[in-house]
Amino acid sequence: MQTHEIVRRFTAHFENAGHTPVPSASLILDDPQLLFVNAGMVQFKPYFLGDVPAPYPRATSIQKCVRTPDIDEVGKTTRHATFFQMAGNFSFGDYFKRGAIELAWSLCTNSVSDGGYGFDPDRLWPTVYETDDEAFALWQEITGLPPERIQRRDGTDNYWDMGVPGPGGPCSEIFYDLGPRYGVEGGPIANEDRYLEIWNLVFMQDERGELSPKKGHPPIGELPHKNIDTGMGVERVAFLLQGVDNVYETDLVRPVIAAAEELSGKRYGDGEEDDVRFRVIADHARSSVMIIGDGVTPGNEGRGYVLRRLLRRIVRSARLLGVTGPCLERFATVVRDAMSPTYPELATDFERISAVIRAEEDTFLATLTAGEKIFETAVQDTRRGGGSTLPGDKAFQLHDTYGFPIDLTLEMAEEAGLSVDRERFTTLMNEQRSRAKADAAERKVGFVDASIYRAVLDTHGATDFLGYQSLQSEARIVGLLRDGATAPAASEGDSVEVLLDRTPFYAEAGGQQADTGTITGGSFVVRVDDVQSPVAGLRVHRGVVANGTVTLDAEVVAAVDPARRAAISRAHTATHLVHAGVRGALGSAAAQAGSLNAPGRLRFDFTSPTGAVPPAALTEIEEEVNSVLQSDREVQTYETTMDEARKLGAMMLFGEKYGDRVRVVDMGDYSRELCGGTHVRRSGELGLVRILSEASIGSGVRRVEALVGLDAFQHATTEHLLVNQLADQLKARPEELPDRVQSLVERLRTAERDLEKHRADAVLASAGSLAEAAEDLDGTKLVAVTAPDGVTGNDLRTLASDVRGKLGSVPGVVALFAVDGAAGKVAFVVATTAAARDDGLAAGKLIPEFAEAVGGRGGGKPDLAQGGGTDPSGVDAAIRKLREAIRG
């Protein structure tokens, strides 16, 4: 049975049982605890936690998942994988244990002709939590299995919670017996190599406290509504129903291995070492395509780092198989063809996906050869020194300079029979991150226990947002927090968080900055500086009590600053127009990767695997956007279904989670996007859009910054004044300025070259006098002086070589020092004649004799060496040490 048919049967089975089919969520959800979605229940967490009411009593989904802790084990076994699909059915206070067991058992054991999977019941083994007598009895009743075929296991195996206080419960797992050749009999408790878990049924009935029942601690209570959360491994069921030995041989994975076989000329199954590489390619190719499809681009932090690591492991595995040229796009194409029947967006968005992959592969291939040479040199140095540990400094250099993930260096070191000094590497990485954090803007975070917000939500319901229609409304304070805790009142000067039953204030979201304004009661005013939504459905107004005493339950008037809202709305609408302009100029590969909509200005990030946007293209985008402003198009906003929005061609942002009903911002045939932000009514209200800059902010990601409205006009006026001033000073018309400035620059460069030549001639003219002043040290001529002012770099080397030449055939050493007192630095060069080298005086070996005196170091060849230091006051001492070394 093909995998897509397994998925179809699962969905049909539960849809026929009254479940609402829910599309897979993006792998990227706004969950600080998760790098990627790793289970089917993740998108339903708000319903299980009670943050928001579930829109349906029961649901089913096929969720794409990525788990990354075991990346290093992928390929080494056939059990580990980073990407997989989890089929699940969910009940939100509807059916419970009986329903979950009946539905799972019937799908597993019903015949293929009846829509089931046709598993032999004699090969299925259920497990239950050790004290769950109810589930044990239900398994017996529903399946007719004897008691010895239903095994009890402790909380480590058969209890589920989220690792934090909240919902949890016992679970039942369904195992399939692979047969005697996989190990001893006796059920899952005897051998999990022979008995393969295919489905986990979680009976969510408990509320756990700080200590988990998984570790034997009792729950602190029961949930008011009992829920069901199940997960069936699609790939595991596929390899069982397809009669193959593991997931790598199933219909959606084996084609990637076949492509690698074709490119490499090798065959899967001929040797375990190569088989590991084939499996790495197959698994990582699937994960990478799915991750890029959901909007991630390669980078050096977080999700971007994981993606980069996956892609580079593919490239290196392919090289070890003998593939020398680019290969990622070929593997991605195979993944697209295999997976797009379930995930059609992979086909429609493949131009962007492949562009991201090509850019990363080109970058890595360009540095891989150089990095491998550095690595091999480090390995040789380590072995020559009799060591078995690669220095952490070298590992950090490979990471920082050549883009080698530490995991790649560890793999290469292991292959070379070496370990890596991880401690030193980690120290250097932490130092780098600390520097980066010091430069980064402070992120807005809340320090309030989220349960406080959820309590308000449970009691008073979601905040009614009125901001699309009005900037002022009457409201009631339903929650008041001071210093992170609930409070009945707050006085003048207190920092507070105010929760209202309704509000016109827009909470920061989707790149749009929050509204500011006031909340006014009968005898108090709260200045609102920020609005956030820490729990779905709530809007929290953060600010300061400007005067009076604010109290819980007070009736108030909430008023948004209209000028700020209007300026932000203009910027947000302009962002949509710039997005449309960029896609029109660069193609669909230019997808939004972030934005900022602030009063009068915007920042728009987008993927651009081809590199910088040409200035001419930016000019065209700006002109096109302003033509839309001039046409004064109506900006319509309306709600519709997700299916209808897709039919209309509305743009959807990667990583965003949309419900069944979505809000569309429509500017006719030019721009149509899903968006929850605020916008102007007509494009003409924007006035003017001026693009200020375009630059790279990471691998394959570019950023456009622009001004809108009055800010754009003011910028244009300033530029006009500057152009007029330049025209007056250069006695030229504005259109002549580029040529006139270019002429001035060329004249300046010519003058600098002439000056440099004269200076070099003056420096070289001093060589003769320096040679003549050489002192005699027991038959060796020594010239050791501070060079004339202005001599640095190449001039210092040239002068040392010239002085050496004028010493003739006698043993001679030239040591010249250049001092930069203002910077507190000193540079030095040592040159030796052939006769001196015959006497054992090598330039590279002389430097260590005196470098410490100037706080420096250096090195080089026997005839010429150089270095630098940080203590110019030590030059005289250095010269004395050099004399001593020569005499010695």
Binding-site residue set for Zn(2+): 572, 576, 675, 679
Which contacts of 215-221 are long-range, i.e. CB under 8 A and separated by 24 or more positions?
A: 215/155, 216/154, 216/155, 219/168
Q: From 821, 814, 826, 874, select the one nearest 850 (Cα to Cα).
A: 874
Q: Where are the beta strands (DSSP E) in 411-471?
A: 419-420, 464-465
- Per DSSP, the chain holds a count of helices (H) and strands (E) of 26, 35
| Structure-block tokens of residue 133 | 């007598």
CB 235 within 8 A of CB 7: no
Separation between Cα atoms, residue 335 and residue 283, nearest integer Å = 10
Separation between Cα atoms, residue 783 and residue 760, nearest integer Å = 20
Half-sphere exposure of 396 (CA within 13 A, CB side): 16
Separation between Cα atoms, residue 500 and residue 456, nearest integer Å = 10
Tokens 């003058």, located at residue: 751
Separation between Cα atoms, residue 624 and residue 487, nearest integer Å = 53
The neighbouring-strand residues paired with 827 are: 818, 868
Q: Where are the beta strands (DSSP E) in 193-318?
A: 195-208, 221-233
Q: Which residue type, as a one-letter code, is found at position 201? A: L
Using DSSP, state whether 573 is helix, strand or coil: helix
Provide the annotated binding site. Answer: 572, 576, 675, 679
Separation between Cα atoms, residue 843 and residue 863, nearest integer Å = 6
Q: From 117, 246, 228, 123, select the one nearest 167 (Cα to Cα).
A: 228
Q: CA separation (Å) from 67 to 234, 527, 576?
A: 15, 44, 34
Q: How many CB atoms lie within 10 A of CB 482?
A: 17
CB 72 within 8 A of CB 408: no
Separation between Cα atoms, residue 315 and residue 308, nearest integer Å = 11
CB 312 within 8 A of CB 408: yes
Q: CA separation (Å) from 253 to 66, 278, 280, 281, 591?
A: 15, 11, 11, 10, 28
Q: Where are the beta strands (DSSP E) in 441-488?
A: 464-465, 472-482, 485-486
Tokens 């519709």, located at residue: 640
Separation between Cα atoms, residue 667 and residue 669, nearest integer Å = 6
What is the biggest distance separating any 2 CA atoms in the chain, rounded to whole angstroms?
A: 109
DSSP state of 805: H
Separation between Cα atoms, residue 816 and residue 843, nearest integer Å = 12
864-869 sheet: strands from edge to edge: 775-777, 780-786, 812-820, 825-832, 864-869, 856-860
Residues listed for the chain = 888
